[in-house]
């Protein structure tokens, strides 16, 4: 599995924020790498914005640092109207894809993302989960495959869903999953997350870390 791809030059920079969070927790790169199951060198590059994380890796790093994933989007401009010519680009991990935030920063009821996925790109091979109620995906062009991991307790098996242009799919993001584009030409998809990814830690966790 490839953990990283080349960073596109206009991608938002999150490395300094992750480094600051690690230093506040007084964690060494070695300790954080052990916790997240990645290498020290990989984390060092991530903190310098020299690699892009898979979605699963970014979610794990944020969890270890008590950094809500949604807080990585707070540099996007606020406002109820998001213009097509100035869509705010966000970093949500993944390989060979670019994502944009279509809902205003601070909108907590729902979050809508537009994803441009290059041929063979996607979330990365490793499955991930999100602490949300529902994910809805609508394929605008191309094809994507959403793959679910089997539950080790046997509550459900592993399976996958192939979606083509015009198809839509609703599922629980708490079930371990990954996605990638299929076929040639890549894909463009609309993601709807409900509620929005948290921008702050729960009050109990904030108190315990203070």
Instruction: Provide the pLDDT for residue 79.
Output: 73
* pLDDT at 14 (0 to 100): 86
Place of tokens 């537009």: 114
The rounded distance, in Å, linking the Cα atoms of 62 and 201 is 11
209: left (phi over 0), alpha (psi -120 to 50) or beta: alpha
- pLDDT at site 107: 87
Cα 69 to its chain centre, rounded Å, is: 8
Which residues of the chain fall short of a pLDDT of 50? 1-9, 203-210
Which sign, positive or negative, has the C-alpha torsion 6, 129, 109, 114?
Answer: positive
The sign one gets for the Cα dihedral 54, 112, 83, 107 is negative
Say what the pLDDT of residue 204 is: 37
Fold of 81-194: Jelly Rolls (2.60.120)
Question: What does the pLDDT read at residue 111?
Answer: 94
The pLDDT tens digits for 72-103 are 776 666 678 888 888 888 888 999 999 999 99
* Cα–Cα separations (whole angstroms), residue 177 to 36, 146, 157: 18, 7, 12
pTM of the model: 0.78
């Amino acid at each position: 599995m490839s953990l990283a791809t080349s960073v596109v030059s206009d991608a938002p920079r999150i490395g300094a924020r992750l480094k600051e969070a690690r230093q506040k927790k007084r964690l060494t790169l070695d300790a954080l790498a052990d916790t997240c199951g990645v290498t020290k060198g990989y984390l060092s590059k991530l903190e310098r914005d020299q690699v892009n994380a898979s979605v699963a890796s970014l979610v794990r790093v944020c969890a270890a640092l008590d950094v809500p994933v949604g807080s990585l989007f707070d540099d996007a401009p606020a406002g109820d109207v998001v213009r097509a010519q100035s869509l705010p680009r966000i970093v949500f991990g993944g390989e060979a894809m670019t994502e944009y935030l279509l809902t205003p920063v601070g909108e907590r009821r729902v979050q809508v993302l537009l994803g441009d996925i290059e041929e063979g790109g996607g979330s990365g091979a490793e499955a991930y989960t999100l602490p949300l109620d529902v994910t809805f995906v609508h394929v605008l062009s191309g094809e994507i495959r959403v793959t679910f991991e089997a539950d080790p307790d046997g509550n459900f098996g592993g399976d996958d869903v192939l979606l083509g242009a015009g198809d839509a799919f609703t599922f629980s993001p708490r079930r371990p999953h990954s996605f990638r584009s299929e076929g040639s030409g890549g894909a463009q998809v609309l993601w709807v997350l409900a509620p929005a990814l948290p921008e702050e830690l729960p009050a109990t966790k904030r108190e315990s870390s203070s």
